[in-house]
C-alpha cells in the first residue's frame, strides 16, 4: 500500500505510526439520544474492549449522577489491563467524583473556542488556562493519568489552543486531545491543528462524523503524529456520532499495516453494543453491517466463487465475520448452482435456467430469496414431492400475565406432539414450546421482522436463519400474527434441516 500522507512536510509516515485507542462508547457513545447502559452492560462491553486490546476505556462521566457512578464503579472494579477513565469538566468536584469511582485517570475537558469560553462557560481565555493548570496539578497529585481536552478545539484560535496545551503539559498533563467537537473540520484544518499540538507532547484525537469525515480526520491526525484515537464501537455518539473504532482499526491495519487491536473481536463487539444500546446497525455499515460481506449480484457471486478476494478488500475473518452468498433479483447461474450445491441438489443446465428465472421473479417482487424458496423452486422444477416430517397443527400463546406462555401442537412423522414453553415474550415462549417438542440441536443464527404494510393490522414477515450440524437454512413466513409467523418459519426451518432418517427427539428424551 502507498502511504497517502508520507512525505508531506507536516506528517510522519503513517505506516510507521504506533497507535492505540481510547474507547468512549461508554461515555460519548452513551450520549447518543435514548441510550443508557446498565452497570452489567457497561461491564460486559468494557471486558470485551479490554480483551481486544483497547488501551484506554472512558467508562463514563462521574459528574452525571449516582447511577452513572455505579456504572463506572463496576468497570473500575473489573481489574482490567486498560486504563479506565472518567470525563470531568474543568470543575474540581468532577475530579473528586471521578476519584470516588476509583478511576485510573480523567479526561479533563476545558472550553477551547471563544464560543465555548465566552458564551457557554462564560469565562475568559486566561481563566481557562488557570483552571486547566490548577486542575491538572490537582488530578496528578491524586495519582491520576490526565488527558486535557480543548472542547471545540477545531474552531479555536490556534495560538490560544497551543498556549493552553503547553501550560497543561508544564503542569504535568500526560497528553492533550484535539477535539473536533461538532465534526466540522476539513482534513487540511485537522492536519495543521494536530501538527501544532503533537509538537508539544503526546496527543489524542477526537473526531465526530457530522460531515462524514470522522475516519479521514482520525487518519490525518495519526499522520500528523497523534497516537491515541478516541472512537466508539459502531460510531455511536452525539448527533451523527463519533468516529467508528472498527473503521479506523481496519483502515490502519489493511491500509497501512498498523496493528492496533485484535480486529477479530470487532464483530462481536459491534453486536454487543448494538444489542445493549438498541441502536441498530445499518446493513451497509462498513466492517460490521450485515451486507459488508454479503454478495447477491451474479457477476460478484461468480467472481467470488472463482476467487474469494474478487469483491472484498480483506477476508471477513479478519474482523470476526463470515462471507455470505445470497440470492435475489440480480442472481446468476453460478450463484444459484452454488446455493443448490450447498443443499446437495444436482440439476441439469436446463433445470438451472428455469430455477434462475424463478429466483429472479421472486426477486422482482422485491423479496429476498431464502434457502426455503430455492429448495421449493427446485422441487417444483424437478417434479419432486417433498415429504414434510414436521408440521404445525396448532399454536396458542398468552402474554398478559407475569410469565408469557405458549403451547404448540405438531405432527412429527405423522405422530402428534404437544409441548409448552415460557419465555420473555409470546414469540420466545412459542419458540421454546417448539424446541421442547423437537429437541434438535439447532442454533437460531438470526431473526428478522419486517412489517409489510402499515397500521396495527400489518402483515409481518419473519425471516429466520437456523443452523444444524454443517447446514443452515433461511426461511420466511408472513402472517398478521407475529408469533404465528415466527413459529411457522422456525418449524419450516427445522423440517428443512432434518435429514430423511434422523429420529426427532423430544427435549426430555
Ligand X SMILES: CC(C)C(=O)C(=O)O
Ligand Y SMILES: CC(=O)SCCNC(=O)CCNC(=O)[C@H](O)C(C)(C)COP(=O)(O)OP(=O)(O)OC[C@H]1O[C@@H](n2cnc3c(N)ncnc32)[C@H](O)[C@@H]1OP(=O)(O)O
Applying CB under 6 A, which of residues 63, 194, 408, 473 lies at the interface with ligand Y?
63
- Residue 149: contacted member of ligand Y, ligand X, none (CB under 5 to 8 Å, by partner type): ligand X
| 179 touches ligand X (CB under 6 A) | yes
| 28 touches ligand X (CB under 6 A) | yes
| 147 touches ligand X (CB under 6 A) | no
Residues 236-265 that bind ligand Y (CB under 6 A): 238
| 133 touches ligand Y (CB under 6 A) | no
Applying CB under 6 A, which of residues 4, 121, 305, 411 lies at the interface with ligand Y?
121
Q: Which residues contact 119 (CB under 8 A, 6 or more apart)?
A: none
Quickly tell me which residue has 441438489 as its cell.
345
Round to whole Å and give the CA distance between 164 and 330.
57
Round to whole Å and give the CA distance between 118 and 360.
62
- Stretch near ligand Y under the rule CB under 6 A, chosen from 83-91, 184-192, 366-374, 406-414: 83-91
Choice between 84 and 250, CB closer to ligand Y: 84
Choice between 63 and 226, CB closer to ligand Y: 63
Specify whether the CB–CB gap between 377 and 386 falls below 8 A: no
**Shortest distance, CB of residue 152 to ligand Y, whole angstroms?**
8
What 3-state DSSP class applies to 466? strand
Q: What is the per-residue DSSP string for 122-172? A: ---HHHHHHHHHHHHHHHHHTT-EEEEEEETGGGS-HHHHHHHHHHHHHTT
| 235 touches ligand Y (CB under 6 A) | no
Round to whole Å and give the CA distance between 260 and 55.
9
What are the strands of the beta sheet with 471-479, ordered from one edge? 442-451, 460-468, 471-479
Secondary structure in 3-state letters for 94-131: HHHHHHHCCCCEEEEEEECCHHHHHHHCCCCHHHHHHH
| 64 touches ligand Y (CB under 6 A) | yes
What are the strands of the beta sheet with 415-422, ordered from one edge? 390-398, 405-412, 415-422
Round to whole Å and give the CA distance between 10 and 39.
43
- Residue 110: contacted member of ligand X, ligand Y, none (CB under 5 to 8 Å, by partner type): ligand Y
| 226 touches ligand X (CB under 6 A) | no
- Residue 328: contacted member of ligand Y, ligand X, none (CB under 5 to 8 Å, by partner type): none
C-alpha cell, 490: 422456525
Applying CB under 6 A, which of residues 109, 244, 266, 482 lies at the interface with ligand X?
109
| Nearest Cα to Cα of residue 392 among 459, 467, 475 | 475
| 231 touches ligand X (CB under 6 A) | no
| 206 touches ligand X (CB under 6 A) | yes
- Residue 421: contacted member of ligand Y, ligand X, none (CB under 5 to 8 Å, by partner type): none
Choice between 210 and 290, CB closer to ligand Y: 210
Question: From residue 487 to residue 506, what is the string marking binding to ligand Y with x (rule CB under 6 A)?
Answer: --------------------
**Shortest distance, CB of residue 185 to ligand X, whole angstroms?**
11
Choice between 28 and 246, CB closer to ligand Y: 28
> Can you give the binding site for ligand Y, defined by CB under 6 A?
28, 31, 61, 63-64, 89-91, 109-111, 120-121, 151, 181, 238
> Can you give the binding site for ligand X, defined by CB under 6 A?
28, 109, 149, 151, 179, 181, 206, 208
Amino acid at each position: 500500500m502507498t502511504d497517502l500522507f508520507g512525505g508531506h512536510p507536516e506528517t510522519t509516515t503513517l505506516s510507521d505510526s504506533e497507535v492505540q485507542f481510547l474507547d468512549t462508547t461508554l461515555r460519548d457513545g452513551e450520549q447518543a439520544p435514548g441510550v443508557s447502559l446498565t452497570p452489567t452492560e457497561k461491564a460486559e462491553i468494557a471486558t470485551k474492549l479490554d480483551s481486544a486490546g483497547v488501551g484506554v476505556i472512558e467508562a463514563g462521566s462521574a459528574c452525571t449522577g449516582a447511577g452513572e457512578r455505579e456504572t463506572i464503579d463496576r468497570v473500575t472494579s473489573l481489574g482490567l489491563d486498560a486504563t479506565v477513565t472518567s470525563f470531568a469538566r474543568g470543575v474540581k468536584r468532577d475530579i473528586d467524583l471521578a476519584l470516588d469511582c476509583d478511576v485510573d485517570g480523567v479526561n479533563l475537558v476545558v472550553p477551547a473556542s471563544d464560543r465555548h469560553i465566552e458564551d457557554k462557560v462564560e469565562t475568559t481565555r486566561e481563566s481557562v488556562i488557570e483552571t486547566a493548570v490548577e486542575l491538572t496539578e490537582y488530578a496528578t497529585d491524586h495519582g491520576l493519568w490526565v488527558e486535557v481536552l480543548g472542547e471545540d478545539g477545531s474552531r479555536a484560535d490556534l495560538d490560544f489552543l497551543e498556549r493552553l496545551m503547553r501550560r497543561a503539559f508544564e503542569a504535568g498533563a500526560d497528553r492533550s486531545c484535539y477535539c473536533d467537537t461538532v465534526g466540522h473540520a476539513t482534513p487540511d484544518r485537522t492536519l495543521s491543528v494536530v501538527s501544532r499540538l503533537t509538537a508539544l507532547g503526546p496527543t489524542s484525537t477526537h473526531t465526530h462524523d457530522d460531515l462524514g469525515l470522522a475516519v479521514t480526520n482520525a487518519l490525518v491526525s495519526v499522520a500528523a503524529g497523534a497516537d491515541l484515537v478516541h472512537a466508539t464501537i459502531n460510531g455511536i455518539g452525539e448527533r451523527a456520532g463519533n468516529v467508528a473504532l472498527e473503521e479506523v482499526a481496519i483502515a490502519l491495519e489493511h491500509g497501512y499495516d498498523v496493528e492496533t487491536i485484535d480486529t477479530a473481536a470487532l464483530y462481536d463487539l459491534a453486536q454487543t453494543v448494538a444489542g445493549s444500546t438498541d441502536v441498530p446497525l445499518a446493513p451497509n455499515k462498513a466492517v460490521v453491517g450485515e451486507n459488508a460481506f454479503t454478495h447477491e449480484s451474479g457477476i460478484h457471486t461468480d467472481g467470488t466463487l472463482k476467487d474469494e478476494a474478487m469483491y472484498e478488500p480483506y477476508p471477513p475473518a479478519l474482523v470476526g465475520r463470515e462471507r455470505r452468498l445470497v440470492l435475489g433479483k440480480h442472481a446468476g447461474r453460478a450463484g444459484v448452482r452454488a446455493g443448490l450445491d450447498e443443499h446437495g441438489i444436482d440439476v441439469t443446465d436446463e433445470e438451472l435456467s428455469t430455477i434462475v428465472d424463478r429466483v429472479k421473479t421472486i426477486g422482482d417482487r422485491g423479496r429476498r430469496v431464502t434457502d426455503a424458496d430455492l429448495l421449493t423452486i427446485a422441487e417444483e422444477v424437478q417434479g419432486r414431492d417433498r415429504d414434510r416430517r414436521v408440521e404445525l397443527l396448532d399454536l396458542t400463546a398468552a402474554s398478559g400475565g407475569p410469565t408469557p406462555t405458549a403451547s404448540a401442537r405438531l405432527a412429527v412423522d405423522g405422530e402428534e406432539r404437544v409441548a409448552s414453553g415460557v419465555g420473555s415474550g409470546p414469540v420466545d415462549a412459542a419458540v421454546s414450546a417448539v424446541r421442547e417438542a423437537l429437541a434438535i440441536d439447532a442454533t437460531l443464527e438470526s431473526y428478522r421482522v419486517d412489517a409489510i404494510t402499515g397500521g396495527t393490522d400489518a402483515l409481518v414477515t419473519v425471516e429466520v436463519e437456523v443452523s444444524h450440524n454443517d447446514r443452515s437454512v433461511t426461511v420466511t413466513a408472513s402472517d398478521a400474527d407475529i408469533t404465528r409467523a415466527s413459529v411457522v418459519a422456525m418449524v419450516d426451518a427445522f423440517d428443512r434441516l432434518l435429514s430423511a432418517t434422523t429420529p426427532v427427539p423430544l427435549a426430555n428424551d
